[in-house]
Amino acid sequence: MPVKVGDKAPAFSLIDTTKRIRTSSEFLGKKTVLAFYPAAFTGICAKEMCTFRDSLAELNTMNANVVAISVDPPFSNRAFAEQNKLNFPVLSDFTRYVSAQYTGLIADLGGIPGYTAAKRSVFVLDNDGVVKYAWISESAAAEPNYEEVKSVLASF
């Protein structure tokens, strides 16, 4: 069952683009935007992550972090982060365990049998890791409402 508003966000331990283990607990103490994206090097995922990149200074004024998560391996995520000059952690959920907990999964993404990815989703967590906003798309082609995310962050 996906995470919903009011839930304590499930703890995670995932590998970043440098193969360093990052835990959800290190993001406590600030608001956190968790952005799950289906696949690196796709147009919509790049547009979404670049929108968060371009908004990061504004989000930082709201005491907020951005953390991106995909099922892609850390090597692909690193190339994707470098190509798009992403200035926030990009984590690899290659086991799909965290994505299944938070978002649920998309089977056969892009019509590719056996390719399972996270649903495009955005969660806003408060300083204590409680979910204040949850958006989970059934369509990999949908983008989140960025202004809505900012509005939620500004509200607490």
**Half-sphere exposure of residue 125, counting CA atoms within 13 Å on the CB side?**
25
* Gap between the Cα atoms of 86 and 101, Å rounded: 25
Strands of 21-23's sheet in order across: 21-23, 13-15, 90-92, 64-70, 31-36, 121-125, 131-136
What is the DSSP code string of 78-118? HHHHHHTT--S-EEE-TT-HHHHHHT-EETTGGG-TT--EE
Given the residues 3, 35, 39, 45, the one annotated as active site: 45
Does residue 87 contact residue 56 with C-beta atoms inside 8 Å? Answer: yes
User: Largest alpha-carbon pair distance within the chain?
Assistant: 43
Active-site residue flag, 45: yes
Distance (Å, whole) CA 92 – CA 53? 18
Catalytic residues: 45
